[in-house]
Amino acid sequence: MRVEFYRHALDEADIEAAAQTLRSVFLTTGPVCARFEADFAAYTGLARCVSLNSCTAALHLALLALGVGPGDEVIVPAMTFIASATPVVHVGATPMLVDVEADTGLMAPETVRAAITPRTKAIIPVHLYGVMADMRALKALAEAHGLAIIEDAAHCIEAERDGVRPGELGDAVCYSFYATKNLTCGEGGALCTNRQDVADRALLLRQHGMSKEAAKRYHGLYQHWDMVDLGWKYNLGDIQAALMVNQLARLDGLWEKRRAVYEAYASHLRDIPGLRLPGLRGKSAHHLFTIQVPAEKRDDLLAHLGKNEIGVAVNYRAIHALTWFRKNLGCKPEDFPNAFAFGNGTLSLPFHTRLTPEEVALVTDAVRGFLDIVPR
Ligand SMILES: *Cc1c(COP(=O)(O)O)cnc(C)c1O
């Protein structure tokens, strides 16, 4: 690859912290996870953080903790990653997909309102690419109809919109520390919340429904544990948490670097006929840099950039057009036209903290070349 799609920002201090954990006695969920949870809760401004092994697990436990189950409906935008919807299926509820705003790809409050039925239990707004959904409008809807809000903030730790941050108005907010996310340990996630009942339930269910976690069993005299509920195995380990304690302290600096890359891209790509940048709302967490091109050109542009050894991705094709959703939810592409068009026109360019101005120019020249626009 001449230009990598993504490079993580782990530094020697992070690697040394993980090495220290490896030299210690305790490798699983223990003191480092506790430290990370305290720091991450403080960063998000939320009362509690429960570290987990993925955002998918966080969404699953949030649904369970909020009492969502068989017979319930949960409203999910059609323009997202599949994991925003699959945990709804895993708890036995039905994902009710809704269309999105044409310019941002975000859940649109009016379409959510139209999708509410007596069975609706919760909504899952997705803060796509790092731009927050309209949480104030969604909160008003949720309050009027007695619905829970579970925010999918896999892209969105650092954002703010209308004076609101991720998790502030929701009952739970789910984060991902997957390999390409803004804060990463390879694989990891967290559920944050201001609700003590939701956090306590997630803590119990992340480790088999056992009454005592390993760290509590290890220290002091042996005490019997009990299995008080049927849970899962979703805990994060200290080796991974160790990679994120220092990284979290650098998070705002890393965001500044991505924002500078965003600005550089935007200045190169503005005012190109047939190319548009998704709309911003408030402060973006700047997780991905995506462009929108005409659907009939998108796959050829992907191939063109790939041939030029430029890392590219599609985040995402609308989920209602994927085989499983078509078969099991009976969706048709035209059901959610904005999401379908957005997913067919979107293309993600290389985006990370170490991208150089030369690389940005190389990428944008390749895009311009393909669209028959003279290079700068
Ligand atoms: C990455 C991602 C997830 C899933 O995160 P994992 O930690 O891999 O489970 C969920 N939703 C969105 C929008 C994502 O991008």
pLDDT per position as a tens digit, 278-326: 999 999 999 999 999 999 999 999 999 999 999 999 999 999 999 999 9
The residue whose two tokens read 């649109």 is 108
Q: For residue 56, which atom of ligand 1 is closest to its CA?
A: 9
Instruction: Reply yes or no: is the peptide bond before residue 6 cis, omega within 30 of 0.
Output: no
Predicted pLDDT of residue 326: 97
Is the pLDDT at 57 greater than 80, yes or no?
Answer: yes
Q: In the 8-state DSSP scheme, what is residue 25?
A: S
pLDDT of residue 220: 73
Residue with tokens 């191939």: 303
Range list of β-strands (E), the chain: 48-52, 73-77, 94-98, 120-123, 148-152, 172-176, 189-193, 289-292, 346-349
Q: Name the band, by pLDDT with cuts 50, 70 and 90, for residue 221.
A: confident
Residue 120's SS3 state is: strand
Which ligand 1 atom minimizes the distance to the CA of 80?
13
Q: Is 72 in the pocket of ligand 1 (CB under 6 A)?
A: no
The residue that leads in pLDDT, 376 or 90, is 90
Start-to-end C-alpha separation, the chain: 23
CB 91, CB 69: distance < 8 Å: yes
Residue 376 pLDDT level (bands cut at 50, 70, 90): low
Amino acid at position 279, single letter = G
Q: What pLDDT does 373 receive?
A: 66
* pLDDT bracket for residue 266 (50, 70, 90): very high
Decide: 316 and 278 in contact? Cβ < 8 Å.
no
Neighbours of 12 (CB within 10 A): 9
Closest CA to 295 of 330, 338, 336, 335: 338
* Angstrom distance (rounded) from CA 72 to CA 88: 9
Q: Does 56 sit in the ligand 1 pocket, CB within 6 Å? A: yes
pLDDT above 90: residue 216: no
Which helix (H) or strand (E) segment holds residue 36: the answer is helix 31-44
β-sheet with 172-176: strand ranges across: 48-52, 189-193, 172-176, 148-152, 120-123, 73-77, 94-98
Instruction: Name the residue of 176, 187, 346 to mutate for ligand 1: max ligand atoms within 8 A of Cβ.
Output: 176
Q: Judge if the beta carbon of residue 105 lies within 6 A of ligand 1.
A: no
Is residue 107 over pLDDT 60?
yes
Ligand 1 pocket member 351 (CB < 6 A): no
CB 148 within 8 A of CB 171: yes
Report the relative pairing of strands 48-52 and 120-123 from DSSP bridges. Answer: unpaired
Instruction: Return the pLDDT at 302.
Output: 97
Mean pLDDT lowest for which of 138-147, 213-222, 342-351?
213-222
Query: Does the Cβ of 106 fall within 6 Å of ligand 1?
Result: no
Counting from 1 in the atom list of ligand 1, the atom nearest the Cα of 187 is 7
User: Distance between CA atoms of 368 and 365, rounded to whole angstroms?
Assistant: 5
CA distances for 79 relative to 87, 124, 275, angstroms: 16, 12, 19
- What separation in Å is there between the alpha carbon of 272 and the centre of ligand 1? 31
Query: In the predicted model, what is the mean pLDDT of the chain?
Result: 96
Looking at residue 367, its amino acid is: V
